[in-house]
Amino acid sequence: MTGAPTFVGARAALTCPEKEPPMTCVFVQFRCIPGQTYKVADAIYDREIVSELYSTSGEYDLIAKIYIPEGEDVGHYLSERLFDIPGIVRTLTTMTFKAF
């Protein structure tokens, strides 16, 4: 990881995308088994691939901002690094595009 962690929201930002090779930004929302949200958040954070992680209200419990190295398949990248965490019931991945 590059740089010192800076605190944002509920968790620390561990990456500094502006200093790394081009990456694709995605947002992933997580619905957790009731009572497991904190354990899931800790496990996500421990994987050291999220830029930001927040707890949310509504249909999903957590949202993560993730930078995926350009050229990587988004589905495989996320499946291999995050989606095997116990306590996750459902995910929703939102791709971003540079429109402005």
Look at the chain and count its residues: 100
Name the band, by pLDDT with cuts 50, 70 and 90, for residue 100.
confident
Q: Is 78 helix (H, G, I), strand (E, B) or coil?
A: helix
Per-residue tokens: 12:
């620390």
pTM greater than 0.85? no
Indicate if the pLDDT at residue 10 is higher than 60: no
Are the beta carbons of 44 and 53 closer than 8 angstroms? Answer: yes
pLDDT digits 0-9 by tens, 55-97? 999 999 999 999 999 999 999 999 999 999 999 999 999 999 8
What are the φ/ψ torsions at residue 76 (nearest 5 degrees)? -65, -45
Domain ranges in the chain are: 6-95
Other CB atoms within 10 Å distance of the CB of residue 10: 13
Spell out the CATH class of 6-95.
Answer: alpha beta
pLDDT digits 0-9 by tens, 18-45? 555 689 999 999 999 999 999 999 999 9
Other CB atoms within 10 Å distance of the CB of residue 78: 19
